[in-house]
Structure 1
Amino acid sequence: MPKIALIVNPIAGIGGPISLKGSDGVAWKDLGIYIGPSYKISILFARQLKTLIAGRELGNLEILVPRGIMGEVAAKELINEPKVICRPHYPSSSEDTKFCAERASEEQADLVVFVGGDGTAFDVFEGTRGKMPLLGVPGGTKVYSSIFARSLSSATRLIIAYLDNEYYPTVGEILLVDENKLREMGELAIVKYATAMTIESKKAEEHQQSKDFGASSEDEIFELAECVAREISEEQPLLIGPGRTAKAISEALGIKKSNLLGVSAGWKGKTYCDDCSSLDVLSFCNESGGAHRVKVIVSPLGASGFVLGRGNQQIPISVLKEMSLDNIIVVATRNKVMRLKKLYVDLRGSGIEEKFSGYVRVKIGCEEELVMKIFPA
């Protein structure tokens, strides 16, 4: 059996709920109740994997981990005695991630699995120096790279494929965008780019596509925004997700959206909050008479096709539980729709992914719609 390293960035993903667009440079003391989203995902990942590998002989499987919540705790959900290869500081930093990835390389790991976002991916890549395959489990706010599995479930299936030798080697991209520009201007600017070895299942495509930085024309976006805005009544409470198309719709509705990747809330001509946090969204839904009265305008995330749970983590699960697919307005330019294969939701073990799956009408122009199917990731 192979050696598999597991490295967890325990604070990745906090940028979504508190609307920071990423956790790079954020001090642990500033996180409060939000600490640990990626750590929690690592536990879910390990438990789900344990269910799938039930009945397999794992006596020779060796799992290499950092001490504590950077890997050891999650790995103990799988096997009794994972091998501790490094002792990170507490609180940990990107330097700990790099060092532990380097130790995994020195221990000749066959595969390095990491839980986090694009920043974690680059740290692991730099630590391993590209010597072995990497597999990302999406746990961060910024997950634009194709080195990541499409979802937590996809990652577990890839590990099973790896253990069963039902995989093939391939190459994944790692993209890192400038967090300061994201936070301050909502601007997507790639500051680092690399490719790394990874694995793919022979049975199905389990990796996501990298963020598509190709642009739809401004005229196409403006036309779609004007059409959508005309169809919305003044009394309708709205949550508007991230993206260029959503920002144009927000402007057409007169709801402020200063950040391209933020979530805005309000009514036609009235802003409740701009760049809302999860708590802001909860308050807005309560003041609107309940989440079931609110419509959510979303555009698929890049070329990956995610409409919920990826890129708009400011919308909490508790709000989505009060909604149905009828509350969701999916919008996309014709140019984007032509590049998409499917739409996805990734609500991470919440038990409500099926509720937001099925066929949906995607608005692509004035009185013009396209029916697409949403799948659980």
Structure 2
Amino acid sequence: MANKFRLGLIINPLAGLGGSVALKGSDGVAEEALSRGAVPKAHLRMQTALEQVLPFKDRFIVHTAAGSMGEDLCRELGFEVKVHYRAKNVHTTAEDTREAVKALAAETLDLLLFAGGDGTARDVYAAVDEQQVVLGVPAGVKIHSGVYGITPKASGLVLKLLMEGELVSLMEADVMDIDEVAFREGTVRARRFGEMLVPAEPRYVQAVKMGGKEVDELVLADIAAEVVSSMDDSLYIMGSGSTVAAVMDELGLENTLLGVDLVQDRALIASDLTANQLLEETQGKALKLVITLIGGQGHILGRGNQQLSPELIRRIGRDNILIVATKSKLKALEGRPLIVDSGDPELDKALSGYYRIVTGYRDYVMYQVANPTE
């Protein structure tokens, strides 16, 4: 059985309080809103989202914060829950959101789902790793940021798409907020704070850019440009296949189409290495692996690249595996997962889960890697 989906979940219990009592927001006025009779509803918004994936709840582990920040609702709905943070006071603060995000970061989440408004999005942005995929459940008074679903149900439906094996692209979306003090005085003063990585589902997620029509040659060039632009000083193990070959072409380097090469600082270090040579050449070095899938089959390990031994893969580490593929190849799998067949069942199990696949320049999809026999 594939590893469970690791869902991070945070609710800002005070989100949206100011709206019903005409405070035009909740930032800094939660106590006043409560005194005016405002009733917290953020947990109900998150509940609406989670109800869309109740049939899949056995496939989740929800990593969350204690009490009203997520634990209570998830236990009530029957999800498997792990608590990583407890708020210091009865009424949570922006600091609690930030600290909860930091506490969840160690779990290597597949998705961080949070309920709140633009202020909550700012707090998540301030604490989250830039590579973490996030999605907001709209629960605030103002929702200018492009990181939210158009409705709570829409946010849940995006999560449902992931559970059903659909291709869900990833894009950068703006984190926006307005000055609530000025807004209460009748002035709209918006500000962009940055970007977060979100699912780019135009039906369900607001204000997210979409790419154009895919043409394989152009897409290969785009994929190559994205990989090369992100290269650091690690030693790169370049796998076999035409998609990886496009990256080597972008670098202007000789490529072993059906073999494994080593690249560092955009220079070719060694070509067509054996498993033992790879182990010798990579000893004690920071490593990254660039691989693609076999079209029609979906294998990323164990088919045509046996030079990538289990010992080497462990040395590289799951988080340093960069999978590149065109969307047409992924779509041809018709929802079947990518497959790892390293020869080590325990390693195959550890490598299962959801990966961010490079499908173009600044264009990614989330896709599952799993061994169907497990």
TM-score, normalization by structure 1: 0.51
Query: Which deviations, in whole Å up to 9, do the C-alpha atoms of 1:71-121 show, x marking residues without a partner?
Result: 112222443431101011221100000000111112211211000100001
Output the CA distance in 2 between the equivalents of 1:73 and 1:46: 13
Output the CA distance in 2 between the equivalents of 1:130 and 1:157: 24
Q: Percent identity?
A: 28
What is the Cα deviation at residue 127 of structure 1? 1.4
Q: 1:15 touches 1:141 (CA, 8 Å); kept in 2? A: yes
Query: Which deviations, in whole Å up to 9, do the C-alpha atoms of 1:14-50 show, x marking residues without a partner?
Result: 1211111110011436513313121222233323432
1:97-108 to 2 correspondences below 5 Å: 97-108=97-108
Output the CA distance in 2 between the equivalents of 1:93 and 1:141: 16
1:74 aligns to 2:68 (yes or no): no
Cα distance change, pair 110–80 in 1 and its aligned pair in 2 (3 A): closer
**Which portions of structure 1, spanning 4 or more consecutive aligned residues, are displaced by more than 6 angstroms?**
none
Residue type matched to 2:22 in 1?
S
Q: Which has the larger radius of gyration?
A: 2
Cα distance change, pair 163–48 in 1 and its aligned pair in 2 (3 A): closer
Helix, strand or coil for the counterpart of 1:69?
Answer: helix
Output the CA distance in 1 between the equivalents of 2:52 and 2:161: 14
Residue type matched to 1:16 in 2?
G
1:169 corresponds in structure 2 to 170
Residue type matched to 1:181 in 2?
A
Output the CA distance in 2 between the equivalents of 1:157 and 1:47: 9
Cα distance change, pair 13–77 in 1 and its aligned pair in 2 (3 A): same
Structure 1 unaligned spans of 5+: 211-377
Helix, strand or coil for the counterpart of 1:15?
Answer: helix
Cα distance change, pair 192–169 in 1 and its aligned pair in 2 (3 A): closer
Query: Which deviations, in whole Å up to 9, do the C-alpha atoms of 1:169-227 show, x marking residues without a partner?
Result: 1121110110000011x2111244211101134xx5211128xxxxxxxxxxxxxxxxx
1:110 aligns to 2:110 (yes or no): yes
User: Over the residues paired in the alignment, what is the CA RMSD in angstroms?
Assistant: 1.9
Q: Which of the residues 49, 60, 70 maps onto 1:45?
A: 49
Q: 1:47 touches 1:77 (CA, 8 Å); kept in 2? A: no
Output the CA distance in 2 between the equivalents of 1:115 and 1:84: 17
Output the CA distance in 2 between the equivalents of 1:145 and 1:81: 30
Cα distance change, pair 18–48 in 1 and its aligned pair in 2 (3 A): same
Helix, strand or coil for the counterpart of 2:63?
Answer: strand
TM-score, normalization by structure 2: 0.51
Output the CA distance in 2 between the equivalents of 1:46 and 1:169: 21
What is the Cα deviation at residue 61 of structure 1? 1.8
Q: 2:18 touches 2:33 (CA, 8 Å); kept in 1? A: no
Residue type matched to 1:206 in 2?
Y
Structure 2 unaligned spans of 5+: 209-374
Q: Which of the residues 7, 11, 22 maps onto 2:14?
A: 11
